[in-house]
Chain A
Amino acid sequence: GAVVSQHPSRVICKSGTSVKIECRSLDFQATTMFWYRQFPKQSLMLMATSNEGSKATYEQGVEKDKFLINHASLTLSTLTVTSAHPEDSSFYICSGTPDSGGVWRVNEQFFGPGTRLTVL
């Protein structure tokens, strides 16, 4: 399967600071990537759809000015949590779908290992 990496895997920051999380597709190109957050013992909640070369599409209730998404290339999307607060502490997971490789491959989402954000 295709590989998606996230960096960092774990970050602890002070309240009020900004944190950037990188999501890279290592062996495929992805026009579209997705960002999810997961609270303890809960499901994944889609935050936004990241589109290469254009603005991200945010889900209802997600503050676009707080969660800045930049999809600068076909292999890299970044999520920046601005002015982080303790309630932003969560597990953030990204995913990407290959642009090519056949019908079975392009219909599968490949997930990163997640980033654990703790805001003190």
Chain B
Amino acid sequence: AQSVAQPEDQVNVAEGNPLTVKCTYSVSGNPYLFWYVQYPNRGLQFLLKYITGDNLVKGSYGFEAEFNKSQTSFHLKKPSALVSDSALYFCAVRDGPGGFKTIFGAGTRLFVKA
């Protein structure tokens, strides 16, 4: 069965510093990996995805993530955090295209302090 783990409930970082939000996954086949962000009382906004190709994926709002097959990780990163990045971040995995269901991690709350 597929699963995804986000080991940190919360990440605190100062504005301007680099940030990392961790994610590890487990799937039986080739993984389809996603990062989403959620602001209070809002739906999910897509940040980026890895399907195939380059291990370093660049996404929205300056975020990027690196797919590491040997470590089964897909950590989300940003070189310089903004206060407006403060939100809830979800890593998700799907082990097939289209109609295959997506499983979400528990979420990591990011606080960026000015």
- Closest Cβ neighbor of A6 among chain B residues: B43
Q: Which of B42, B49, B106 contacts A107 (CB 8 A)?
A: B49
Q: Which of B42, B45, B90 contacts A44 (CB 8 A)?
A: B90
A106 sits at the interface (CB 8 A): yes
Q: Which of A6, A32, A104, A114 contacts B98 (CB 8 A)?
A: A32
| Chain B residue contacts of A1, Cβ below 8 A | 46
Among B90, B94, B98, B104: residue with most chain A CB under 10 A: B98
Q: Could you count the A-B residue pairs with CB atoms below 8 Å apart for me: how many are there?
A: 65
Question: What's the Cα separation between A19 and B11 when bound, in Å?
Answer: 37
- Closest Cβ neighbor of A104 among chain B residues: B51
Question: What's the Cα separation between A93 and B102 when bound, in Å?
Answer: 13
A108 sits at the interface (CB 8 A): yes
Nearest chain A CB to B40's CB is how many angstroms away?
Answer: 10
Q: Which residues of A contact B (CB under 8 A)?
A: 1, 6, 31-32, 34, 36, 42-44, 46, 49, 51, 91, 93, 95, 97, 99, 103-104, 106-114, 116
